Each structure stands twice: as structure tokens, then as C-alpha cells.
Amino acid sequence: MLDAYAQTTSTMAGQGSSDGEEEPILNARRFIELVQVEKKPLYEGSQISFLKAVARLTNLKCEFNLPHRVVDGIASLMKEMCPNDNEMTSNFYETSRLLAGLELPHRKIHVCSKGCMLFWKDDEQLDVCSFCGAERYIRKTVRGRKIPKKVLTYFPIGLRLQRLYATKNVAKHMTWHYNHPRTKGTMEHPRDGEAWKHFNSTFSMFASEPRKVRLGLYTDGFTPFTHYGQSYSCWPVIVTPYNLPPWMCMKRQFIFLSLLIPGPRNPKGNFRYIHSNLD
């Protein structure tokens, strides 16, 4: 998976340059460096790579909601248990810095506690919701900073969509919905449904360009910390490009996380409003 992503990002960065003179873009270069780290063993003769060891440690922290001090202790113990000249990090800070290149670009956006609006763009300076009057902040501070009642995590998908056109083996499928012959009387793709046809007739200028990206949007809630955080839930909002053929558009590499809406309430129709106001 790491190698595949690195291939894609380096292709996107220097597409059309066969002499290797162009440097990869910054994000691609960071990821390529991580791929090189992934091949480095934790210590000489180890069956596990350095990157896999620190990634597993970070995963345990998230799965069991471990405090930073506990992770510091585990990392320090692992470093002492390994032979000399090992690559293991000694605390959580070093581990998180190493894995920073794996992190999706994201932005934290304050949201009305009832899901009415985003405190975003022209509304970024407001302290109360324009619709219901709910307070934006909890009435306490941490180190002089106000604590928002609800925070949305936004993962921009623009660059990820551009990547679909960066590699030839994917780009050629991005017009499948337009070029592939239809089988009369069957429904094998959303393009065969009435909703797709209605969209085409309503937005004819958009529909006239088959390379325009059409996205399916869906969500479902889950509890990220299992029984350790039963009162907390998240609602991930997923998008997938319906330009692709049916055997590709639901594959893992073409399913993009765009939002994380904190629970415990179902966002219902509000997430459509939230998503439409981000771009």
C-alpha cells in the first residue's frame, strides 16, 4: 500500500518527466521518505520494520485511549528490550513526529452544538449560532484558550481527486460512465438510475463534460473507543467517485473520508449542509 501511494504521488508530481529532473512535490517527497523508512528493520535481524513497530504502538494508543505518559513508558521499555543500535523511538513525541508524513491533511472547524452551522469563512468570528443562538464555547478555558462545544474534522479531497487523473491506469476509467455502452433493461451503475438522468437534465453544462467528477456521499456512526467511550461517537462522511466502473468505485483506494462529525446525535440532513458549505 505504501509503495502504491508513493508511485501515485511521485507520478502526480513529475508526470511527463522521464529524465527524473523534476523534484516530487513536498507531500510526495515526505511520503517517499517514509517508504524508505518502512524498509529499515527495527534492529539488525529483526522480522519487523521500524515503521511498523511505531505504527502498531500508535494504533494501540488510539484503540485503548492510552495517555501519552503510558505510551512514553511502553516506548522506553521497548527500546531497552531491543538489542543495542535499534531504531525504536523512546517516547510518543518522537513517534508522532515520525508518522506525521502519514497524516491526511485536515482542518478543525468549530460547529454549532446542534449541527445548525459551521463557524467558517464569513462566520468564523461569531460566538453564537446564527440559527438557534447556541453558545459556540464551553464556559471555561484551557491555558487561556476557549474550548469549543463541537469540532468538525475536515479532510480536503481536492488533491485526492486530482490523483485519480495522475495515473494512466485510473484516469482512463474516469469517463467509464459516459463511454461504456449501456445494456437496455438492466441497472449496473448509478448512471442507469432516474436520479442520474434527472441530474443530467438539470445541470446540462456539467453533464456535457464526462471528466467532471461525480461523488456519492454516505455516512454511518460508530464508537471509536469501544466500551471505553460508550457516550462518544463519530459520524464519518465518505465520498466515492461514481465516474469509475462499479468494480472500482467501491474499492478501498477509491473511498475517501471527507468529514468526521462528532456524535452522539445522528447528523441527519445537517451533514449535507455542512459538506456543501466547506468549499
Integer Cα distance of 123 and 61 in angstroms: 35
The DSSP code sequence of 226-269 is: GGGGTT--EEEEEEEETTS-HHHHTSGGG-EEEEEEE-SS--TT
The pLDDT value recorded for residue 184 is: 83
- Strand, coil or helix: what is 3? helix
Integer Cα distance of 71 and 69 in angstroms: 5
For residue 111, what is the DSSP state? B
pTM above 0.85, yes or no: no
- Our measurement of the distance from residue 205's CA atom to the centroid of its chain's CA atoms, rounded to an integer in Å, reads 30
The pLDDT value recorded for residue 59 is: 87
The pLDDT value recorded for residue 278 is: 66
Residue showing cell 438557534: 132
The pLDDT value recorded for residue 242 is: 95
Q: Which residues pair with 108 in a beta bridge?
A: 153
- Strand, coil or helix: what is 147? strand
Contact 123, 131 (CB under 8 A): no
Span 21-75, pLDDT tens digits: 445 556 666 666 666 767 789 999 998 888 889 889 988 988 888 899 999 999 9
Span 238-252, pLDDT tens digits: 999 999 999 998 898
The pLDDT value recorded for residue 261 is: 85
Integer Cα distance of 256 and 279 in angstroms: 16
The pLDDT value recorded for residue 203 is: 95
- Strand, coil or helix: what is 200? helix
The pLDDT value recorded for residue 228 is: 56
Residues in the chain where the model's pLDDT stays below 50 = 1-22
Domain borders along the chain are 2-99, 107-153, 155-276
The pLDDT value recorded for residue 273 is: 57
At 68, list the grid cell: 501519552
